[in-house]
Chain A
Amino acid sequence: DVKVTQSSRYLVKRTGEKVFLECVQDMDHENMFWYRQDPGLGLRLIYFSYDVKMKEKGDIPEGYSVSREKKERFSLILESASTNQTSMYLCASSSSTGYQETQYFGPGTRLLVL
């Protein structure tokens, strides 16, 4: 069974704080993704990574950065949290070997920025 875990289920932070969200997958997947999910909107891609130390911007990278020092771990960083970053954050991973790459999602981190 593919397992994607995220460091926190719920987080409450204050405006201006630095926030770290961590994601770990145990299936040796090459690809990892960070999305945010807001009510009524589809998942929006923030950043993704196809290899260790490699990162690419998604559709909404502003205000975020990422780090992938090890294959199994992909971190999302909010350098200075703002209230409009209150959201549900979902991490996903997938393999590059198959044609139809299914993305496997973590349980999500619900972040509230006050």
Chain B
Amino acid sequence: KNQVEQSPQSLIILEGKNCTLQCNYTVSPFSNLRWYKQDTGRGPVSLTIMTFSENTKSNGRYTATLDADTKQSSLHITASQLSDSASYICVVSPWNNAGNMLTFGGGTRLMVKP
């Protein structure tokens, strides 16, 4: 069964600090891996997308990395801001990129404190 495991489940950091969120998956073969940001009470919004051949992708202060050999991805947030407080969800698409076969991780809830 395809699975996406994220760690930690929750994280509290001080404003201005960096942090790294982890995503391990078993989906194989896969087409792409996405990181979504979900603000409290809102729907998820796409941050980055990487195909199996990409190692890293940046979006401002967010940098995602992918190691397809070990089936691990990470999301690094640099110089955190209060607005980064949200849940971050890792999503893996299967080889055929079928929209109905996405596997979602349980998310990491990040709180940035002043």
Q: Which residues of A contact B (CB under 8 A)?
A: 4, 9, 31, 33, 40-45, 48, 56, 58, 90-92, 94, 99-108, 110
Contact = CB atoms under 8 A, between A and B. Distances in A.
A43 B100 contact: no
Interface string B32-68: 1010100001111110010100000000000000000
A4 B43 contact: yes
Nearest to B51: A100
Given A48-B99, A56-B100, A108 B43 contact: yes
Interface residues of B, number: 25
A45 B102 CA distance: 9
Given A44-B104, A105-B36, 18 more contacts: A9-B41, A31-B99, A40-B9, A42-B105, A42-B107, A45-B100, A48-B100, A56-B100, A58-B100, A92-B43, A100-B49, A100-B93, A100-B97, A101-B97, A103-B102, A104-B46, A106-B43, A107-B43
Contacts of A107: 41-43
A102 B34 contact: yes
Nearest to A42: B104
Contacts, number: 59
Contacts of B41: 9, 107-108, 110
A4 B31 CA distance: 25
Contacts of A100: 31-32, 49, 51, 93, 97
B106 A102 contact: no
B103 interface: yes
B106 A41 contact: yes
22 contacts: A41-B106, A42-B89, A42-B103, A42-B107, A43-B44, A44-B104, A48-B99, A48-B100, A56-B100, A58-B100, A91-B43, A100-B31, A100-B32, A100-B49, A100-B93, A101-B97, A102-B34, A102-B46, A103-B46, A103-B102, A104-B46, A105-B36
